[in-house]
Amino acid sequence: MLDCVRSDGKSVDIKFCEELSLEKNWQMNISCTVECPVNCQLSEWSTWSECSQTCGLEGKMRRQRSVVQASQGDGRPCPSQMEQWKPCPVRPCYRWQYSPWSECRVESVVCGHGTRYRNLSCFVSDGSSDGESSMVDEELCNTLELAINGDRKIILKEACILPCPGDILLFKNMDDMINT
């Protein structure tokens, strides 16, 4: 009894061999090419990127991988996730900040032209927009550029006017009146 067998060793109906005009008595097989399954192959994960922010709670780090060999045939397909994200380690955010202006001070008189002052202090926060900040030791801000919101011109004193009793002052706008 003869069997008709595919190249992968599986028996099939004899009519397939007859369609190929194989002689039943002696030609038992014929060569053919069968596509072998190829599994997806991925690269190793890259190292984690630098944090997207230098401080605070919002920063993220990323790593990725790529397809080295795509799957073929019945091979295991590639996963859809080719990158991963994770939160950065929390680092406090330090910044320089002005104190409020002092009252206008005039020397040896009660009113007239004077000077008002303010201080520059180091503050820390968690970096969130609604996060509270606290004043800390100035040494913690020593590595920062001495600037307020990017402005390097630090102004710690300015001229002001302390009105004399009975004086009438005209101001261009309310801010001028408040800042005297």
Task: Please report, in tens digits, the pLDDT of each residue of the chain (180 residues total).
Answer: 566 777 777 777 777 777 776 655 555 556 666 678 899 999 999 999 999 998 888 899 999 999 999 998 889 999 999 999 999 998 899 989 889 999 998 887 788 889 999 999 999 988 877 778 889 999 999 888 888 888 889 899 999 988 887 766 665 655 555 444
Q: Are residue 139 and residue 159 in the same domain, yes or no?
A: yes
Could you give the CA distance from residue 100 to residue 12 in angstroms, rounded to a whole number?
92
Q: Are residue 99 and residue 170 in the same domain, yes or no?
A: yes
Tokens, residue 34? 């069968």
Beta bridge partners of residue 157, listed in sequence order:
117
Could you give the CA distance from residue 131 to residue 152 in angstroms, rounded to a whole number?
24
Q: Are residue 25 and residue 46 in the same domain, yes or no?
A: no
Q: Are residue 69 and residue 9 in the same domain, yes or no?
A: no
Task: Kindly report each contact of residues 132-137 with a partner whose C-beta sits within 8 Å and lies 24 or more positions away, as own/partner.
Answer: 133/95, 133/97, 136/94
Domain residues for 82?
38-91
- Number of residues that make up the chain: 180
Q: Are residue 26 and residue 66 in the same domain, yes or no?
A: no
Tokens, residue 33? 């090419």
The residue out of 91, 107, 123 marking a domain boundary is: 91
The residue out of 52, 72, 91 marking a domain boundary is: 91
Whether this model's pTM surpasses 0.75: no
Specify whether the CB–CB gap between 144 and 96 falls below 8 A. yes
Q: Which SS3 state, helix, strand or coil, does residue 179 take?
A: coil
> What is the reported pLDDT for 180?
47
Q: Are residue 76 and residue 100 in the same domain, yes or no?
A: no
> What is the reported pLDDT for 132?
82
> What is the reported pLDDT for 137?
93
Beta bridge partners of residue 84, listed in sequence order:
63
The number of distinct structural domains making up the chain is 3
User: What CATH code is carried by the domain that includes residue 51?
Assistant: 2.20.100.10
> What is the reported pLDDT for 15?
77
Q: Are residue 3 and residue 59 in the same domain, yes or no?
A: no
As a 3-state breakdown, the chain gives helix, strand, coil percent values, each rounded to 5, of 10, 30, 60
Which strand (E) or helix (H) includes residue 175? helix 174-178
Q: In the 3-class helix/strand/coil scheme, how is 12-73 assigned residue by residue?
A: ECHHHHHHCCCCCCCCCCCCCCCCCCECCEECCCCCCCCCCCCCECCCEEEEECCEEECCEC
Tokens, residue 14? 């004899």
Q: Are residue 103 and residue 87 in the same domain, yes or no?
A: no
Cα 168 to the chain's mean position, in Å? 55
Q: Are residue 108 and residue 168 in the same domain, yes or no?
A: yes
Q: Are residue 166 and residue 99 in the same domain, yes or no?
A: yes
Q: Are residue 99 and residue 174 in the same domain, yes or no?
A: yes
Q: Are residue 29 and residue 42 in the same domain, yes or no?
A: no
DSSP structural state of residue 140: G
